[in-house]
Amino acid sequence: MFRTNVGGIDRMLRIVVGLALLAGFFLDTDASWRWAYLIGIVPLFTGLFGTCPAYSLLGLNTCPMKKG
């Protein structure tokens, strides 16, 4: 369905940031802003699957194997 458009370093950063945000969801005790950490699902999934819908819309590609 989607083409791979997220490269190696980009993928790793997305996964690390996504996991860090989700860890914040479970570790933060302030109930008023706790839900905001769930935004970490987006970079985690885009990193794991190697595709970013926003990159597709903008015509970007950081995957060296898929350029051209």
Burial 38-64 (b: 16+ CB within 10 A, else e): eebebbbebbeebbbeebeeeeebbbe
Q: Is the pLDDT of residue 68 over 60?
A: no
Residue 40 confidence class, pLDDT cut points 50, 70, 90: very high
pLDDT of residue 33: 85
Q: What is the mean pLDDT of residues 21-46?
A: 92
Scanning the structure block, which residue is given the tokens 């996964």? Answer: 15
Q: Is the pLDDT of residue 27 over 80?
A: yes
pTM as predicted: 0.86
Boundaries of every domain in the chain: 8-62
